[in-house]
Structure 1
Amino acid sequence: MNDTEPTLQPATDADRIAAGPAADALPPPAEWSPIAVRLLQGVVYNDDNLTLWEVLLRNVSPLSEFFGRLGLYLIVDETSAMAYLRQPEDDEVPPDYQSVPRLFRRTKLGYDATLLAVLLRDVLRQYEEEDLQNERCVIEQTDLLALWRNFFAEVDDVKLNRQLGASLRKLEDLKFVRQFEKSPPSWEVRRIIKARLPLDELERLRQSLVAEAEKVAAKETTAANPGNAPKE
């Protein structure tokens, strides 16, 4: 048997990649690194973490440059005390701009979730116009159900409340709302919904939803009273 020691071979590039970068090869994180990660995760509010919010305000320029290289706009709304990232539409960039893959996928909401977003946006608008005492726009789920009921022919409140709850959870995933109290259930309408649903878009969607609700109600009436159906 050959007792000679094995010959050590120098590590190849493939070996280094497989092993991963050494910790000391990473540059030290910048002061704004934690807030950059939070922004990539979604909207940031000052009342979520005031310390991070102050870091953001001190570093708007480097953060804007960093995200700009990823093809993203950093939007800092100090009036609404929130910040978020936005990917420009194709018509917002010059023709010679090098395209960057979309980081944020588009989420298409169904009828129920769209209806709820419109109702909540309207609730927030009324709050901003009339409520000068409370810092947060909070609405109880029972009050939301009263608004929700107007758009459905269904009279079973248990079923309607279940549908409403499912839509609230979808919008919670998008950070449009967050649960404020569990009993009785109430919800805080988050300010990001203003950016995602401007007033002109709100009015357009409201008219579309009202027309759809009237169409559904007419079909329900016809089904219940077939003798009243219009004759051709």
Structure 2
Amino acid sequence: MDKADILFSTTLINLLQGVVRKEDNAEIWNTIRSQQFRIDEYMEKIGLSLVIDDEGGFAFLKQRDDDVLPHLVKKQPLTFRMSLFLALLRNEINEYDSGSGEGALVIREEEMVRRMKPYFPDVSDEVKFTNSIDRCFSKALEMKILVPVKDNEYEYEVQPVLRRFIDAEWLSEFNRQLDKYMEENGLTVKKEEEAKEDESV
């Protein structure tokens, strides 16, 4: 196998393993761009299609909706906690997009713990609850939805690929179900400005 074949095969393997980010490996990314049609043709045989987002700088494989082959890309059911975690991140992106939208959207661990806590009013063990949010971070890192900020182990950049994983339709339905859950349990979540005012008192 020559160098070009090795690079092509390595690129296919990387795509089969998950999301490929432009900034992680320029050589792999350039192969995806230059061999886009060859990759798509190859993946079509096993029921997958290549998705490339040049603006976001990422690529991934998705299952073809009309394919009758067994699914290689399995849809894993998300827990309520993980769904909430992703929905809050997606809402953050929406607010970020409606603002300046410049630079990278960065979140801190303590922010997400604070934002998720009102949805779990019966928390009696703070350490256990924080550890459960840490597991959400680990899953999001595995999905390459989050990437650690260099030289800061408590901050993460939210990746554009989240827009693909959590689309507007999913988010709208989840927010509707979440509002119903909050109402049924008599829960309310303060706006960020109100929370900051309380903390300053």
Structure 2's unaligned 5+ residue stretches are 188-201
Q: 1:74 aligns with which of 47, 50, 68?
A: 50
Amino acid corresponding to residue 103 of structure 1 in structure 2 = L
Q: Which amino acid aligns with 2:55?
A: T
Shift of 1:194: 1.1
TM-score, structure 1 as length reference: 0.71
Question: Which consecutive residues of structure 1, in runs of 5 or more, have no partner in the other structure?
Answer: 1-23, 94-98, 219-232
Matched pairs, number:
185
Aligned to 1:167: 136
Question: Structure 1's 61 and 216: CA in aligned 2 closer, same or farther, altered over 3 A?
Answer: same
Runs of 4+ in structure 1 off by over 4 angstroms are 181-184
2:75 — aligned with what?
106
Q: In structure 2, what is the equivalent of residue 215 of structure 1? A: 184
Q: How does 1:141-180 map to 2 (within 5 A)?
A: 141-154=109-122, 157-180=126-149
Q: 1:177 to 1:85 in 2, by over 3 A?
A: same
Measured after TM superposition, the shift of residue 158 of structure 1 is: 3.8
How large is the RMSD of aligned CA atoms in angstroms?
2.4
With normalisation by structure 2, the TM-score equals 0.80
Match of 2:171 among 181, 202, 214: 202
Q: Do residues 29 (structure 1) and 5 (structure 2) align?
A: yes
1:36-64 deviation line (CA, Å, top 9, x unaligned): 11101101111111222112111111111
> Which of these two proteins has the greater Rg computed from alpha carbons?
1
Match of 2:99 among 86, 108, 130: 130
Give the structure 1 partner of residue 25 of structure 2.
Answer: 49
